[in-house]
Structure 1
C-alpha cells in the first residue's frame, strides 16, 4: 500500500507538470507558430495534432527498451523543460521548449501507464491540485512570473517529481486500461469546465445578468473549492460499498448523467449556465473516474510479475502493460483532437458545442462499461465483488486540497470600489485596446506589460477587445481579472464568441445599466457584440460608453456590423454624450468607417491622423478607433508604442459638454 501511495503522489506531480507545460504550449500554437485569423486553422491544427500522433510511438519503444528507463528519461526531460520555461524570453525558443516538454510528458504518461494499474487516485489528485494551485495564483502561472518565487517553486516541483522515480514501482496487475484511456479526456474536461478557476470566477460574474460584472474575491473564488471538493471526494470513493441494489444503480448512472448534463449546459453558450455546468461536470467527472478504478471480476490483484514491459515478463503481463501504454497515448490523442475541433471552430465557423458533449459521452460510456460489474443483482444487498482498497485517504486528501483552493480569495486583490464623491471630472481619458487575450508579440502572457502601457495615460475608462476569461486554448487564464487587478478598476464584460471570450469596459467611476447587442455574423466565424454602459460621474453627468470589436466577413468590410453598432449606441445614449471605441477592423475612408460618421458620430482621433495601430511592432493599419458625439471635445490623441499585444492602444482625452 505504501508503494501505491507513493505512485499516486508521483503521478499527481506529473499531471501538474504536464498541465503547466500545456498552458504554455497551447497558446503558443496561435501566438508563436501561427497568427489566429491569418495563419490557416488547418495548419495550426495539424501542428498540434502531429505531436500527439508522434507519441503513439512510445508504447513500441517501451516494449523494446523497458518501461522504467523510458519513464525516467521522459521524466527528466519533462522536469527540465518545465523548469527552463521560466527563463525563456518567448518566441520560437519558448514554443520548441514547450513542445519538448509536451512530447516528454506524453511519453512519460505511456511509461507510467505500463507500470501503474491504478491511476485514478493519482490522476484525480493531480487534476485537483493543479486547479487549486491555479486558483491560488489567480490563474497567472508561475511560468510567466520571472521572479525568484517562480524559480524556487518550479525547482521544488521538478525536484520532488524526479526524486519520486527513485523507488521501483509496485508490480502491476492486469487492470487500468479504461482509467488510463480517460486521462486525456478528463484533462480536457477539467481544463475546459469542471475544474477551471477562470470559468468559476466568470460564472459568478454572470449572476447579475447577461453582462459579467466584477464581483468580490470571496464570491468569485467560492465555486472552485466546491467543485474541487466534490470532484475529489467522489473520485477517491473508488471502491464499491455495500449498498442496496437501487443505490448502487444510482451511483452507476448518476455520475455519467451529471457529466453529460454539465457538458450540455456548457454547449448552450449562456453565461447564466456556467455555474451549474461547472458543478455538475466536476461531480460527474469524478464519479466516472471512480467507476473505472474498481477492478473487474477475475483480475489478478496480486500479480508479482516484473514491473513494466520486460521481454522476460510473462506474456500476460506484457500485454496488459502494453494495453495501458496505448490507452494512455490514445486518450491524450482524444484530448488533442477534441481541443483542435472545438477551438478551430472560431476560425472556420462551424458549430462546436457538440465537442464537449461528445467527449463527455465518451467518458460516460467508458465509465458505464467499467462500472457495470459494481452493480449488484436487483435483489442483492452486497457488492458484486470485494472492495478495493484506496491508496489515498479520501476525506483527508479532499480536505487538504480544498483548503488549498480556499486560499485563493485570501491572496486575491480586492475589487476596487469606484466613487464619485468628488463630483464629475473636468476631463475623461479613454483608452481602447485590443489585448489579444493578454499575449504579447513574443508569445508570453504579460498582464503587467499591458497594465503598464495602459496606466501611462491615467485612464478613467478602458475599453478592451479580445478578452479571454478561461479558454483552455489560451491556458485557462482570466485575463480580464488579471488586468483589472493591476489597473485597480472594476469591469463589465460582454460575451462575443462565447461566454468566456468577448469585450469589456473598465472604469474608475460607477457603471450602471449594462446592455449587450449580439452583432450579425455576416459570414465571420468569430462572434461580435456591442457593450453599452452608463458612467455615473456625479451631479447628473451620465455619459455613455460602447465597447465593440467588429469582425469583418471574409474579403469584405464589416459594414453591417458598423451600422448595427452605430444605431444601437445612439438609441442607448438617447441624447447623452456618447463614446464608441474598439478594434473596428476598418480604416478612415472605408465604407464601414463611414457608417459611424453617417450616424452623426465624430472621429475623436482625427487631429492625430495618421495613427496606425496594427501590427504593434510595425504599425501600418489604422483600425482601432474612438468616436464621440458632437459637443464632446477630443484632445491629446495618441497610440503609445509597445508589444504587449499585436495592436497598439489608442488614448484620447475628452471634455464633456456642460450640463
Structure 2
C-alpha cells in the first residue's frame, strides 16, 4: 500500500504557474492520497474548483473534501441575486478503495490580529483497504505559532485515540438497516504539520526521547514514519523557498499508529515535483 501527502498550495508551483495536471502526475502510483490547501473560488488561482479538477484528473479514485475555512464575502450575480460562490480552503483524501465514512475535524485556533489565521482541520477517512479497514487523516496545522500547533496536536490526538469511544462518523446504523461501520484501531496521519523534528510540538506529537535509549514505540503516541525503515537523509526538505533556500525545511510528515510500525516498508520525498512550494512525501506499508 502506497500513501502520499502533498500540500498543493492552491495548484501554484514555485515557478508561479498554476498547473493541476503536473500535480496529478506527481501522485501517480499512490493508493491513498492526502492533499492540503485545496481551494474553491480562490482569486489566486483564478477561482478554479480544485476538488472538481482533481477528481476529473484522477477518475479511478474515491474522494472526499473537507473545507476548513468556508466564507462568502457577499458575492452576487449580475441581477443582484446571491451567487453562492463560497471561498473554501481545506483538505482532500483520495483512495483506490471505498471511503465508507469521514469526519472533518476542525482544529483549535486563536484570533490573530497581525497575520492571517485560517481555520485548520484534519479530514478523517475510513477506508476499506484489501488488508483491512484503516483510518487515514489529511492534516494541516497552523504555520505561524508553536503554541497553536501544540494545542492542535493535543486535540487531534484526543480525537484519533478516542475514535472507538466516539464511534467515528456514525454508530448504531443497524437501526436503519445498514451494516455497522468498522472501527479500526490503526491510523495514519499525513500532512503539513508546519513543524520540524527538533521542535517542542513535535515532542507533543511523538513523545519525549529518552536521554540514553531514544524515542520508544508506545501505544499512546503516533510514530514518525521517517524514524522507521532507514529514516530520512540528512538535509531532506519538504518545503522550499527558491529565493531564500536557507529557510527550506522538512515540515510534511507521515505518522502511524504504533501497531503499524512494523508494516512501514519505506518513506521517501519526491524532490522532482514542481507543482507546489511543498514536495510530496510518500509512505509504503506492507
- Normalization by structure 2: what TM-score? 0.73
User: Deviation of residue 654 (structure 1)?
Assistant: 1.4
Matches within 5 A, 1:50-129: none
* Equivalent residue, structure 1, for 2:279: 648
Is residue 2:56 matched to residue 1:435? no
Could you say which residue in structure 2 is the equivalent of 1:638?
268
CA–CA separation in structure 2 for the residues paired with 1:646 and 1:523: 26
**Equivalent residue, structure 2, for 1:537:** 129
Contact in 2 for aligned 1:583/1:625 (Cα 8 Å): yes
- Distance in 1, matches of 2:250 and 2:111, equals 23
Describe the superposition over 1:219-239 as per-residue Cα deviations: whole angstroms up to 9, x where unpaired: xxxxxxxxxxxxxxxxxxxxx
- Report the Cα distance in structure 2 between the residues aligned to 1:429 and 1:597, rounded to whole angstroms: 22
Q: Which residue of 1 aligns with 2:56?
A: 485
Q: Establish whether residue 471 from structure 1 lines up as the match of residue 42 from structure 2.
A: yes
Q: CA deviation at 1:612?
A: 1.2
Cα deviation for residue 554 of structure 1 reads: 4.2
1: CA distance between counterparts of 2:265 and 2:18? 32
1:511 aligns with 2:99: yes
Give the helix-richer structure, 1 or 2.
Answer: 1
Shift of 1:450: 0.6
- 8 Å contact 1:550–1:585 — kept in the other structure? yes
Q: Are residues 1:612 and 2:227 paired?
A: no
Please give the alpha-carbon distance, in whole angstroms, between the structure 2 residues aligned to 1:649 and 1:497.
Answer: 23
Aligned with 1:569 (options 137, 146, 160): 160
Structure 1 residue 639, shift from structure 2 partner: 0.8
Give yes or no for contact 1:515–1:533 (8 Å, CA) kept in 2.
Answer: yes
Q: What is the aligned partner in structure 2 of residue 186 from structure 1?
A: none
Q: Does 1:628 align with 2:256?
A: yes
CA distance in structure 1 between the partners assigned to 2:145 and 2:221 by the alignment: 28
1:416-453, Cα deviation, whole Å (9 max, x unpaired): xxxxxxxxxxxx11100000001111221101111111
Determine which structure has greater relative contact order: mean sequence separation of CA pairs < 8 Å that are 6+ residues apart, divided by chain length.
Answer: 2
Secondary structure of residue in 2 paired with 1:595 = helix
Structure-2 separation of matches of 1:555 and 1:654: 31
Structure 1 counterpart of 2:170 = none
Return the TM-score normalized by structure 1.
0.33
User: Which protein has the bigger strand share?
Assistant: 2
- Where structure 1 has 5 or more consecutive residues not aligned to the other structure, the ranges are 1-427
The answer for the alignment partner of 1:451 in structure 2 is 24
Find the residue that maps to 2:24 and give its secondary structure.
helix
Partner residue, 1:558: 149
**Residue 497 (structure 1) aligned with residue 85 (structure 2):** no
Size of the aligned set, in residue pairs, is: 225
Q: Find 1:549's aligned residue among 135, 140, 144.
A: 140
1:470 is displaced (CA, Å) by: 2.1
Is the contact made by 2:194 and 2:252 (CA closer than 8 Å) also made in structure 1?
yes
Separation in 1, partners of 2:62, 2:185: 23
State the SS of the aligned residue for 1:432.
strand
Cα gap change, 1:600/1:551 in structure 2, threshold over 3 Å: closer, same or farther?
A: same
Contact kept, 8 Å, 2:146 with 2:201, in 1: the verdict is: no
